[in-house]
C-alpha cells in the first residue's frame, strides 16, 4: 500500500466540521446506488414488486369489483389510484427492514466511523426505496390500463399524481426509517411496520368511499393520510375535487417528513450498541 | 513533539447499572502496535467503539493524534479505520463494489476509487474474487475484505476488534502477516484480542484489561516476566510417567504443577531447583527427554495477572448478540 498523507481540516477545539452540502449529496448518491445494486443480487425484490400489484388488481377489480361498484369496469376507475397508493404504503416497509439489517450486520458501524454526513446512510436507503417504488407504481398503472383503466384528466395532472404518490412514499419511508433505527431486530421491525401499515392501507378510502362506513370508522378514515393522498390522486387521475385534498396532502407530507426526519436522525445518532445496552440494563 | 497516536485517560462507561469501563487509560505512540488483551466482557469492544466515535464515554478523555473523540469526531473519523468483530461488508455487493463504494464515500473520484479497490484486492489476495458477490466468500475472505475496507482511506490509526476470532489457523496466519505489514509501513494499530499468542506475535505493547480495569501493561516479554520469573518444564519419555513427574515437581517447589499433553511445568522462584529436579528424577528412575527453564507463556502470565484463564467458559453478551 502506498503511503499517502491524509489531509485533514484544522483540529481546533470545538470544531465539528459538518459535512458540506455538496459532499453530503454525493454520499447520498453513492449509498443510493449501493442499495439499488442489491436488485442485481436479489432480483426477487423486483419480481415481488411486479407481481404483487397485479394480484391485488385482479383480486379487487374482478373478485370484489362487481359487488362493490356494480361492475369491474366501473370499479377499476375508482380503485386504481388508491391501489397505487396502497402499494407505495406497503413497500415503505422495506426501508424499516433494510436499515435495521444494516445495523445488525455492523455495516452502520462502518459508515458511522467514516467522515461522512450522518443523514446520508438513511437518506441513501430512502431514495433507493422511493425509486424502486416508482417502478412498482408504473407497473400498477400500466397493468390497470391493460385491464381497462382510463385517465380522464390531463397529462400534467397524471404526472402530478405520480409525484404526489412518490412524495407519500418518501414521507412514510422516513417514519419507517425511525422504526428501523429504533427497534431491535428485523422481526420486531417487520411486525411493528406491518401493524402500522395495515390500518393505514385498509381503513382508508382506497377500496370504498368513506361515506359508506360507520361513523366511528369514518372518523379515522377521514384523517388517515392514505385517504387524503388517495383522494388527491383520484382527483388528479380520474377527476373530482383536487384543491382541498391536495392541501391536506401537502400538510400531511410536510409534517410527517419533518417529524420523522428529526426523530430518525436523533435516534440514529444515539443508537450505539443496541444489543449490549439492552442486555446490560436488563431490558 | 507530535501527540501520541492514541491517548486515553480515565475512560468510564456504564450501560444501565453495569459499569463496563471503570477508568481505563493507556497510550500508543505513532507507528506502534498496541494489544488490548482481555477475556470476553472485559470492555475491549466498548473501548474501541468510544475511540472510533461510535459511543460517547460517561467520563474520561480520549484523543486520536491529538483530536478529541467527543468534541472533534469528524476529524477523528478522517484519520482512523475500523474493522469490527463482524465483517462489516455488504453481502449483496461484490468485493470490488464494496471497496470502491467506501472510496466514493470518502470523496475519491470514480476512477481513483476503482484503482484503489483493485490495489487493495490484489494486496489481500482477493483479485480472483473481485467481481464475486461477498455472500459467496469464505470467512477468511470476508475478514480480509473487511480489513481492506478499513484501509481504503489510508488511515493513520487502525482499530481491529478481535480481527481473527473464528478463523481457521491458516486464515489467521495470513491476517497476521497482513497486519504486521501495515505496522511496518507506519500505521498505528490497536487490536483487541483474547488470544495471547496474537498479542505476542503482533504487538509491541500490551494492556491487559478485565472487568473494565487495566490490570497490567508492558511489552509481551515484560508481562511474561512480571508473572513471576521462570518455569521448570519436564518432558518424560513415557507419557505414563507424567503424574509421577508432576508429583516430584510439586514436592520440590511446594506448588502444584500444571500438566500439558506431554509436559509438566511449575513456577520456579529459585533456578537452583533445576539440579534438584534432575537428580530426584534420576533417583526415581524416570527417563526424561527434556528438562529446562523457560519464561512463562503469555497464557500463564494472564492466569497469574487476572486470576483466571484467558479462554472463558461462556461468551459474554458483547460477543454473541448483535
Across A46-50, B95-99, B268-272, B301-305, the highest mean pLDDT is recorded for B95-99
CB spacing of B185 vs A1 below 8 angstroms: yes
A112: closest CA of chain B, how far (Å): 7
Mutate to test the interface with B, among A29, A98, A113, A272 (most CBs of B within 10 A): A113
Q: Choose among A246, A122, A228: nearest CA to A179.
A: A122
Domain edge (last residue) among B224, B244, B276? B224
Beta strands in chain B (DSSP E): 6-15, 18-28, 33-37, 59-64, 67-68, 80-83, 157-161, 188-193, 205-210, 213-218, 230-236, 258-259, 264-268, 288-294
Asked if residue B128 and residue B164 are part of one domain, the reply reads yes
The phi and psi torsions of A112 (rounded to 5 degrees) equal: -75, -15
pTM (2 decimals)?
A: 0.81
Chain B environment of A277 (Cβ under 8 Å): 15-16
Chain A environment of B149 (Cβ under 8 Å): 110
Chain A environment of B75 (Cβ under 8 Å): 8-9, 11, 15, 17, 115
Is B312 a domain residue? no
Contact indicator for B136, B163 with CB cutoff of 8 Å: no
The phi and psi torsions of A161 (rounded to 5 degrees) equal: -60, -45
pLDDT recorded at residue B313: 38
Measured CA to CA, the distance from residue B41 to residue B315 in angstroms comes to 8
Q: What is the DSSP string of A21-51?
A: HHHHHHHHHHHHHHHHHHHHH-THHHHHHHH
Domain edge (last residue) among B178, B195, B224? B224
pLDDT in tens, B56-86: 999 999 999 999 999 999 999 999 999 988 7
Asked if residue B234 and residue B220 are part of one domain, the reply reads no
**Number of domains within chain B:** 2
pLDDT higher than threshold 60 for residue A10: no
Asked if residue B285 and residue B171 are part of one domain, the reply reads no
A129: closest CA of chain B, how far (Å): 16
pLDDT in tens, A176-185: 999 999 998 8
Residue range(s) defining the domain that contains residue B273: 230-294
Contact indicator for A81, A60 with CB cutoff of 8 Å: no
> Looking at residue B32, which CATH number applies to its domain?
3.40.50.300
pLDDT higher than threshold 90 for residue A282: no
Asked if residue B175 and residue B91 are part of one domain, the reply reads yes
Query: Measured between CB atoms, which of A3, A120, A272 is closest to B186?
Result: A3
Q: What is the ipTM of this complex?
A: 0.82
CB spacing of A30 vs B105 below 8 angstroms: yes
Mutate to test the interface with B, among A34, A39, A105, A115 (most CBs of B within 10 A): A115
What is the rounded average pLDDT of the residues A224-239?
A: 94
Amino acid at each position: 500500500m502506498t503511503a499517502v498523507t491524509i489531509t485533514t481540516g484544522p483540529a481546533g477545539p470545538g470544531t465539528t466540521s459538518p459535512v458540506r452540502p455538496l459532499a453530503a449529496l454525493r454520499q447520498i448518491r453513492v449509498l443510493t446506488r449501493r442499495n439499488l445494486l442489491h436488485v442485481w443480487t436479489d432480483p426477487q425484490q423486483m419480481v415481488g414488486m411486479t407481481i404483487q400489484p397485479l394480484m391485488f388488481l385482479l383480486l379487487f377489480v374482478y373478485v370484489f369489483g362487481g359487488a362493490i361498484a356494480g361492475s369491474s369496469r366501473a370499479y377499476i376507475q375508482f380503485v386504481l389510484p388508491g391501489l397505487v397508493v396502497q402499494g407505495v404504503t406497503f413497500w415503505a416497509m422495506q426501508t424499516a427492514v433494510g436499515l435495521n439489517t444494516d445495523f445488525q450486520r455492523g455495516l452502520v458501524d462502518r459508515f458511522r466511523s467514516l467522515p461522512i454526513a450522518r443523514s446520508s446512510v438513511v437518506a441513501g436507503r430512502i431514495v433507493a426505496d422511493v425509486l424502486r417504488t416508482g417502478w412498482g407504481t408504473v407497473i400498477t398503472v400500466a397493468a390497470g390500463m391493460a385491464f381497462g383503466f382510463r385517465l380522464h384528466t390531463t397529462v400534467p395532472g397524471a404526472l402530478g399524481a405520480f409525484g404526489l404518490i412518490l412524495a407519500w412514499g418518501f414521507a412514510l419511508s422516513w417514519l419507517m426509517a425511525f422504526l428501523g433505527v429504533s427497534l431491535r431486530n428485523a422481526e420486531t421491525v417487520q411486525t411493528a411496520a406491518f401493524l402500522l401499515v395495515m390500518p393505514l392501507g385498509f381503513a382508508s378510502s382506497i377500496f370504498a368511499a368513506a361515506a359508506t362506513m360507520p361513523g366511528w370508522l369514518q372518523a379515522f378514515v377521514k384523517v388517515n393520510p392514505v385517504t387524503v393522498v388517495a383522494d388527491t390522486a383520484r382527483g388528479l387521475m380520474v377527476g373530482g375535487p383536487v384543491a382541498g385534498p391536495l392541501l391536506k396532502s401537502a400538510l400531511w407530507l410536510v409534517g410527517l417528513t419533518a417529524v420523522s426526519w428529526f426523530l430518525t436522525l436523533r435516534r440514529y445518532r444515539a443508537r450505539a450498541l443496541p444489543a449490549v445496552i439492552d442486555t446490560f440494563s436488563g431490558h | 513533539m507530535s501527540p501520541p497516536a492514541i491517548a486515553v485517560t480515565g475512560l468510564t462507561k456504564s450501560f444501565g447499572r453495569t459499569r463496563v469501563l471503570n477508568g481505563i487509560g493507556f497510550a500508543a505512540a505513532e507507528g506502534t502496535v498496541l494489544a488490548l488483551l482481555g477475556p470476553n466482557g472485559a470492555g475491549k469492544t466498548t473501548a474501541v467503539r468510544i475511540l472510533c466515535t461510535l459511543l460517547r464515554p460517561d467520563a474520561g478523555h480520549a484523543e486520536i493524534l491529538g483530536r478529541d473523540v467527543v468534541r472533534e469526531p469528524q476529524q477523528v473519523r478522517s484519520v482512523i479505520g475500523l474493522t469490527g468483530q463482524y465483517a462489516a461488508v455488504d453481502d449483496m455487493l461484490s468485493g470490488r463494489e464494496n471497496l470502491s463504494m467506501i472510496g466514493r464515500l470518502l470523496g475519491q473520484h470514480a476512477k481513483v476509487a476503482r484503482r484503489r479497490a483493485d490495489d487493495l484486492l490484489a494486496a489481500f489476495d482477493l483479485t480472483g474474487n473481485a467481481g464475486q458477490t461477498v455472500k459467496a466468500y469464505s470467512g477468511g475472505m470476508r475478514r480480509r475484505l473487511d480489513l481492506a475496507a478499513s484501509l481504503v482511506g489510508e488511515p493513520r490509526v487502525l482499530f481491529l476488534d478481535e480481527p481473527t476470532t473464528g478463523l481457521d489457523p491458516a486464515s489467521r496466519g495470513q491476517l497476521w502477516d497482513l497486519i504486521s505489514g501495515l505496522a511496518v509501513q507506519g500505521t498505528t494499530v490497536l487490536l483487541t484480542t483474547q488470544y495471547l499468542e496474537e498479542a505476542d506475535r503482533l504487538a509491541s505493547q500490551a494492556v491487559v484489561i478485565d472487568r473494565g480495569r487495566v490490570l497490567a501493561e508492558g511489552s509481551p516479554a515484560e508481562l511474561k516476566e512480571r508473572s513471576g520469573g521462570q518455569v521448570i518444564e519436564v518432558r518424560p519419555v513415557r507419557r505414563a510417567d507424567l503424574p509421577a513427574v508432576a508429583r516430584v515437581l510439586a514436592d520440590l517447589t511446594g506448588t502444584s504443577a500444571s500438566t500439558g499433553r506431554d509436559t509438566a511445568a511449575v513456577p520456579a522462584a529459585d533456578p537452583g531447583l533445576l539440579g534438584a529436579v534432575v537428580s530426584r528424577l534420576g533417583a526415581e528412575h524416570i527417563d526424561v527427554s527434556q528438562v529446562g527453564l523457560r519464561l512463562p507463556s503469555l497464557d500463564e502470565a494472564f492466569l497469574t495477572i487476572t486470576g483466571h484463564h484467558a479462554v472463558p467458559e461462556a461468551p459474554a453478551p458483547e460477543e454473541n448478540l448483535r
